[in-house]
Structure 1
Amino acid sequence: MCGRYTLLADELEILQAFEIDHPIDGYYPSYNIAPGQNVLAIIHDGKEKRAGYLRWGLVPSWANDEKIGYKMINARSETAHEKPSFKRLMSRKRCLIIADSFYEWKREGKEKQPKRIQLTDRKLFAFAGLWDKWSNGDNDLFTCTVLTKEANPFMQEIHHRMPIILPKSKEDNWIIPNKWDALEAHQFLQTVDEEELSAYNVAPYVNAAKNNDETCIAPLA
């Protein structure tokens, strides 16, 4: 799964890395991004790419209650093209969720050791995501979920699931609207090449979402 991550780059780095032409309204870095928070994402509106904030935890447009979002922070890529909550979004509402590392917890006996995981060859990257708009009267809520897959050999030592990190060359293909149907989007994700990861232990300080400073990423001595 993917339940916490970081985004520490400055705004200019992000604009350049993802070829975004407009400033990001309200951008702020974070050492400990958690479900229920607003997260930086990129969509394509049919004319250009746009960066802005979505709430992490998908609330489908047909949902009766926005609280469902807390159960939908991740979507399994193996079945997303078949599930009612995600099928329509796989064909029409795909997004990039921007990060520069993520946390995962490795079980060691009765304890869980938090680890910070990064790409070895580049700093910024994008998770494959889905988004939707939910309305309740005059209130519009824009939310997202991170697509996950079975862990690769590196991640299997830590956890059995992992987020899908898109290669740089595949990012724009993922978000162009109406390019694929749900099955084609699913098949695209199966062709995504994996990049080398590295990991190091961090303190349990990161376990609390309220903690959001450089202590979260400090290597554990």
Structure 2
Amino acid sequence: MCGRYTLLADEAEILDKFSIEQSIPDYEPSYNIAPGQQVLAVIHDGDKKRAGYLRWGLIPSWATDEKIGYKMINARSETAHEKPSFKHLMTRKRCLIVADSFYEWKRVGNEKQPKRIQLNDRKLFAFAGLWDKWEYGDQKRFTCTILTKAANRFMQTIHHRMPIILPKSHEDAWITTTNQSADEVHQFLQEVETEPFQAYDVASYVNAAKNNDAGCIAPLHK
């Protein structure tokens, strides 16, 4: 799964790496992005790419209670094309969720050791995401979820699931390709290759979502 991540790049770097023309309103880096928070995402509006904020934790358009979002921070790529909550989003509401590392907790005996995980060869990347618009009464929310898959050999030593990080060459196709069925999008995800990772231990300080400073990513020295 993916339950916490970071985005520490400055705005100019994000605009450049994702070829976005307009500025990002109220952008702030974060050491500890958690479910329920507003997260930076990139979509294609049919004309150009736009960056903005979605709340992390998908609320399907048909839901009557927004609390369901806390149970839908991730979607399994193996079955998303079949599930009512995600199937129609796979065909028309795909997004890039911008990050530069993520956290995962490795079980060690009776404890869980948090680790910060980064790509070896590039700093900024994007998770494959889905988004939806929810309206109920006078309430309106734009929310998202991160797609996951079975862990690769590296991640298996830490956790059995991992987020899907799109290769740079696949990012535009993920948000711009139209007229695809859910099955075709599912096949696209299954063919995405995983880039090499690196990881290091961090302190349990990161466990509390209220902690959002350099202490979250400081290497743990035992």
- The whole-number CA distance in structure 1 between the counterparts of 2:155 and 2:178 is 32
The aligned residue for residue 18 of structure 2 is 18
Map residues 115-130 of structure 1 onto 2, 5 A cutoff.
115-130=115-130
The aligned residue for residue 29 of structure 2 is 29
Deviation at 1:12, TM superposition (A): 0.2
Tell me the matched-pair count: 221
Map residues 15-94 of structure 1 onto 2, 5 A cutoff.
15-94=15-94
2:14 counterpart SS class: helix
TM-score (norm 1): 0.99
- The whole-number CA distance in structure 2 between the counterparts of 1:34 and 1:18 is 23
User: What is the CA deviation profile of residues 16-42 of structure 1, one whole-angstrom value per residue up to 9, with x for unaligned ones?
Assistant: 000000000111100000000000000
> Which amino acid is 1:35 matched to?
P
Verify: 1:166 aligned to 2:169, yes or no: no
- The whole-number CA distance in structure 2 between the counterparts of 1:179 and 1:216 is 42
The aligned residue for residue 146 of structure 1 is 146
1:171 counterpart SS class: helix
- The whole-number CA distance in structure 1 between the counterparts of 2:103 and 2:42 is 21
Identity %: 76
The aligned residue for residue 215 of structure 2 is 215
Conserved? CA contact 1:46–1:177, under 8 Å: no
The aligned residue for residue 155 of structure 2 is 155
> Which amino acid is 1:62 matched to?
W
Conserved? CA contact 1:56–1:143, under 8 Å: yes
Which runs of 5 or more residues in structure 2 are unaligned?
none
TM-score (norm 2): 0.98
The aligned residue for residue 191 of structure 2 is 191
Deviation at 1:177, TM superposition (A): 5.3
Deviation at 1:181, TM superposition (A): 1.3
> Which amino acid is 2:98 matched to?
I
- The whole-number CA distance in structure 1 between the counterparts of 2:27 and 2:14 is 10
Deviation at 1:194, TM superposition (A): 1.1
Deviation at 1:137, TM superposition (A): 2.5
The aligned residue for residue 134 of structure 1 is 134
User: What is the CA deviation profile of residues 110-133 of structure 1, one whole-angstrom value per residue up to 9, with x for unaligned ones?
Assistant: 000000000010000000000000
Of 120-129 and 173-182, more deviation after overlay is shown by: 173-182
How large is the RMSD of aligned CA atoms in angstroms?
Answer: 0.7
- The whole-number CA distance in structure 2 between the counterparts of 1:58 and 1:178 is 22
2:90 counterpart SS class: helix
**What stretches of structure 1 move > 4 A for 4+ residues in a row?**
none
1:162 counterpart SS class: strand
Deviation at 1:140, TM superposition (A): 1.6
Conserved? CA contact 1:99–1:125, under 8 Å: yes
Which runs of 5 or more residues in structure 1 are unaligned?
none
1:122 counterpart SS class: coil
> Which amino acid is 2:203 matched to?
A
> Which amino acid is 1:101 matched to?
S
Deviation at 1:136, TM superposition (A): 1.8
